[in-house]
């Protein structure tokens, strides 16, 4: 295991996040084990653990015979809420801080490329629905984490107001959320800390905390579906680049003379390998249906392929090589230990039928040596990966919540 922490002050938050992650991944772990796993000094571990045990978020296993007691997350005391602004539905979930998903609810309307003025009110309604149905008191909730599509400005807690200056006059910019003050609105109405990040970043975070990325220092997460995206964990940290817009693999040009993409670019991978193209290839004509109908059609095609339908299998095999282009690009850019493939938004679809083809494409076309060493794996998460990612986002910020007194507020 290579989870090295640092004793420098500048890495204070990262070290605390690392210790929480290790306790999450190894329930019952002792302080001695934590020092060994993290490479932090024993006094540093003792100090950090004390902060967490005093706040009540971490407890000790009851065993009077053992001095060096095992550490676990508190159960049934603190809760968090995750909201995923999906294209097919807005989904919310209540998590016990210990990690159990207590309740999951959906609003039938997903977010759209344009508009979405009703989003703050709808998200608030969803939060109230979740709390009411679970019977949990509002004052047991530590924070809300939001996974959003598009460009997300995490430091200000705002979703970008994307500049129109680079576009043709009159061009509508997708996910141009500037007028939608979702975070401020929810903060004001719920009096809770609200964290927000891009959905692909949060998928990578979910894998890093709970999935195939556990214990892996460098990996890329590749989410495929109607939309295509990615996230990267580099040296155990989520890579954010300069503007928190990274791994936009779906918007890398793969066909210079291809279709115009909604992002303003031409021939993006998403226009070639987005799952709408599976339906087009299977039906032999360009689809005109909406995303809900597209999901139904895709479910049928994947089901037929699993039943051995030759046409469905041929279409998916061909499509997997297009997805392979994105996988190879991510691998050549980041030289990761793993590429983790996950489904984006679509429920009821298993990527297991595609993974071998994607892996074969990687082994054939990624840069030599990198391709020999990289593992291509399928995520264990389904369409709810973003909810776990938003929960992980809160865990990453748990130390800040403790410092700012929010945990004390809930502990009263
Ligand atoms: Zn694009």
Contact 92, 82 (CB under 8 A): yes
Q: Under CATH, which architecture does the 9-73 domain have?
A: Orthogonal Bundle (1.10)
CA 99 to ligand 1 center in whole angstroms? 35
Q: State pLDDT tens for residues 337-386.
A: 999 999 988 888 999 999 999 999 999 999 999 999 999 999 999 889 99
Distances, alpha carbon 121 to alpha carbons 96, 107, 177, 192, 205, in Å? 25, 12, 15, 16, 27
pTM: 0.91
Does residue 59 have a pLDDT over 70? yes
Domain locations in the chain as residue ranges:
9-73, 79-201+387-411, 212-380
CA 331 to ligand 1 center in whole angstroms? 20
CA 265 to ligand 1 center in whole angstroms? 5
Contact 331, 128 (CB under 8 A): no
Contact 110, 83 (CB under 8 A): no
Mean pLDDT of 240-269: 91
Q: Of 236, 229, 225, which is closest to residue 277 (Cα–Cα)?
A: 225
CA 259 to ligand 1 center in whole angstroms? 9
Does residue 2 have a pLDDT over 90? no
CA distance 346 to 88: 8
CA 121 to ligand 1 center in whole angstroms? 30
Measure the N-to-C terminal CA separation of the chain; round to a whole number of Å: 38
CA distance 216 to 117: 40
CA 226 to ligand 1 center in whole angstroms? 12
SS3 317: helix
Choosing among 2.60.40.10, 3.30.420.40, 3.40.140.10, 3.40.50.300, the CATH entry for 79-201+387-411 is 3.30.420.40
CA distance 269 to 278: 14
CATH number of 212-380: 3.30.420.40
Q: Of 215, 196, 99, which is closest to residue 393 (Cα–Cα)?
A: 196
Q: Report the chain's mean pLDDT, rounded to a whole number.
A: 90
Can you give the pLDDT at residue 163? 56
- Asked whether the domain spanning 212-380 has the same topology as the one spanning 79-201+387-411, the reply is yes
Residue whose structure tokens are 């998460």: 381
Q: State pLDDT tens for residues 221-241.
A: 999 999 999 999 999 999 998
């Amino acid at each position: 295991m290579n989870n090295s922490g640092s004793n420098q002050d500048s890495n204070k938050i990262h070290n605390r996040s690392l210790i929480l992650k290790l306790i999450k991944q190894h329930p019952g772990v002792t302080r001695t084990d934590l020092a060994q796993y993290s490479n932090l000094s024993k006094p540093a571990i003792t100090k950090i653990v004390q902060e967490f045990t005093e706040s009540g978020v971490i407890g000790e296993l009851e065993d009077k015979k053992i001095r060096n007691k095992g550490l676990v997350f508190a159960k049934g005391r603190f809760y968090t809420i995750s909201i995923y602004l999906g294209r097919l539905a807005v989904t919310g979930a209540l998590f016990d801080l210990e990690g159990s998903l207590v309740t999951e609810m959906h609003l039938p309307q997903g977010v759209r490329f344009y508009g979405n003025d009703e989003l703050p009110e709808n998200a608030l309604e969803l939060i109230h629905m979740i709390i009411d149905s679970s019977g949990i008191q509002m004052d047991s909730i530590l924070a809300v984490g939001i996974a959003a599509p598009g460009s997300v400005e995490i430091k200000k807690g705002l979703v970008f107001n994307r500049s129109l200056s680079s576009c043709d006059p009159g061009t509508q910019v997708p996910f141009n959320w500037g007028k939608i003050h979702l975070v401020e609105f929810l903060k004001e109405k719920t009096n809770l800390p609200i964290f927000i990040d891009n959905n692909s970043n949060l998928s990578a975070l979910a894998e890093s905390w709970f999935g195939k990325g556990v214990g892996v220092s460098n990996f890329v997460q590749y989410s495929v579906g109607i939309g295509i995206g990615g996230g990267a964990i580099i040296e155990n940290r989520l890579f954010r680049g300069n503007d928190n817009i990274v791994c936009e693999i779906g918007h890398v040009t793969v066909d210079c003379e291809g279709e115009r993409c909604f992002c303003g670019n031409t021939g993006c991978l998403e226009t070639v390998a987005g799952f709408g193209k599976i339906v087009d290839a299977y039906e032999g004509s360009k689809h005109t249906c909406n995303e809900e109908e597209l999901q139904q059609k895709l479910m049928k095609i994947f089901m037929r392929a699993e039943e051995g339908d030759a046409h469905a299998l041929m279409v998916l095999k061909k499509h997997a090589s297009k997805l392979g282009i994105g996988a190879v690009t991510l691998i050549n850019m980041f030289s990761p230990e793993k590429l983790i493939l996950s489904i984006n938004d679509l429920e009821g679809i298993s990527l297991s039928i595609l993974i071998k083809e994607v892996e074969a494409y990687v082994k054939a076309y990624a840069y030599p040596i990198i391709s020999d060493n990289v593992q291509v794996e399928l995520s264990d998460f389904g369409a709810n990966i973003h909810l776990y990612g938003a929960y992980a986002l809160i865990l990453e910020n748990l130390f800040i919540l403790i410092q700012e007194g929010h945990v004390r507020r809930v502990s009263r």
